[in-house]
Chains A and B, each alone.
Chain A
Amino acid sequence: MKRSAQQEAFDSTPWAGRVRSYDIIKEGAIAILIVSILVITFSLVFGSPDDKQLTFKGWAQTNPTNFYDTTVQELAGTSGSAGYGPPYNHASDGLNMGPFWLQKWAGVTHPVDSTNDLVINPLSSTVLMPEVATALAAWKSASTDQQLAWATAYDTAIAAADGDYTAAGPGDFGPVPAIAQGLTDVAKSGSLDGLLLSGGNFFSTDNTKQILFFGDGTYLEDAATAANLQGNTWGMMNETGRYPGQAWLWLYSLWYQISPFTNEESAPLGANADAYIMFVVLGLTGALALAPIIPGLRSIPRRIPLQRLIWKNYYREENISRRK
């Protein structure tokens, strides 16, 4: 339903009708007072969420097996981060939407070499037990093919043993077991967080390597599942503890609950869910921004006239009936 030019002209014209007294500064002051009282009250009564940060020390101490196994995956290049693709490495092309490979096109701008950045370099930067030092030296002096062969063999054997590396079948694993044990011990001591963060520097604020390594194992994931923060349980909207989360993200979180986006195996939509969902949300946001000019959407307030409630006093005083 198109509005008439006359109605539009009326709405654009500065108001020349009846007015009422209105104290804008007083209104602002009262608003600040009321909201501040509410905020202070809620803060005193409920506090705020603050679940303690996870550390590599915590991971290696509570689940050393998983930490060890993940270390081997980093060396074998089978971890999530090792196969991620841009912006960290070229191991994969990342996600695409038809002919659009935005992830790949943006390039590897934040290189992370899972094997060296997450395992070999941090281990090399600290004081080691003799057997670990020897193993590390053996690794470094071997060819890349040999390194990969050792690590892959061990990774496969561990997988065959359902993650129990102590039950891994026989094989030529070279220095990999000693390296994995070495890093596990470093993690248990508490120094791995700093080693991964600093990369040998004094100043650093980039936690990327830590986050990637964390996410490759189960420690972070399990904690998130326990707190109901996984994407497919509306986790984007949730908060730790019994606190309200981000209800305003409902329209973004929604798509992660819906097929085919829920199935990572389902190509192309499920396998590239993160990319498609970003664009769906972009489209919906665009619709919200452009609602005033979208036919159908812009006429909803006229067709469902809640406005009669908002302006009921004025309509009654001026005796204005509903305009069709």
Chain B
Amino acid sequence: MNVPATYIHFTSWLQISVANLIVILVMIALFTIALLTPFPGSNTKGSHKSGDHK
């Protein structure tokens, strides 16, 4: 890992290291997946009015 990095040049002034690009893509992926992936357990057992518990 301690060898020179690879840089991707999008334009003359826009360049990014592969590692940084991966980090950014991971963030976008996590955000997208979080929004699209169904969340388990809603409207099933455990769902009740507040104050009902105890």
Contacts and interface: CB of A to CB of B under 8 A. Distances in A.
Q: Are A and B in contact, CB atoms below 8 Å, in the complex?
A: yes
Interface of A: 15-21, 46-47, 49-51, 226-228, 233-234, 237-245, 247, 257-258, 306, 309-310, 313-314, 317
Contact of A317 (B14, B15, B43, B50): B43
Q: How many interface residues does chain B have, given as a range?
A: 20 to 34
Contact of B20 (A15, A51, A247, A258): A247
A233 B8 CA distance: 12
Interface in B1-45: 1-7, 13-20, 22-24, 35-36, 38-39, 41-43
The interface residues of chain B, by DSSP majority, are classed as: loop
Nearest to B36: A309
Contacts, number: 88
B38 to A, nearest CB: 8
Contacts of B5: 228, 238-239, 241-243
A259 B6 CA distance: 25
20 contacts: A16-B51, A17-B50, A19-B49, A19-B53, A20-B41, A20-B47, A46-B1, A50-B2, A227-B4, A234-B16, A237-B20, A239-B5, A239-B17, A242-B3, A242-B4, A244-B22, A245-B17, A247-B23, A257-B13, A310-B35
Contacts of B4: 226-228, 241-242
A171 B16 CA distance: 49
A239 B7 CA distance: 12
B19 to A, nearest CB: 4
B22 A306 contact: no
Contacts of B16: 234, 237
Contacts of B54: none
